[in-house]
Amino acid sequence: MAEAFDSETAPAKINLALHVRKRRADGYHELETLFAFAKDGDELNVEAAPDISLSLTGPFAQSLATDADNLVLRAAHRLADASGVRAGAQMRLTKNLPIASGIGGGSADAAAALRMLNRFWRLDWDVARLLPIAEELGADVPACLVGKSCIGRGRGDALHLLDQTELSGAPLLLVNPLKPVSTAEIFARWDGTDRGQMPQGSDRDILLQGRNDLQPVAVALLPEIADLLAALETQAGEGLARMSGSGATCFAILDSLYKRDQAAQHTARKFPGYWIFPTHVA
The catalytic residue positions are 13, 140
Short-list 144, 119, 120, CA closest to 133: 144
Torsion (CA) 19, 21, 22, 28 in degrees, nearest 10: -40
Q: Which residues lie closer than 8 Å to 234 by C-beta, 6 or more apart?
A: none
Measure the CA–CA gap between 132 and 246, rounded to whole angstroms. 24
What is the three-class DSSP state of 273? coil
Q: Are strands 250-253 and 171-176 parallel, antiparallel or unpaired?
A: antiparallel
Measure the CA–CA gap between 138 and 39, rounded to whole angstroms. 22
Q: Which residues lie closer than 8 Å to 81 by C-beta, 6 or more apart?
A: none
Fill in the DSSP letter of residue 213.
T
Q: Which residues lie closer than 8 Å to 138 by C-beta, 6 or more apart?
A: 71, 106, 107, 110
Measure the CA–CA gap between 108 and 37, rounded to whole angstroms. 10
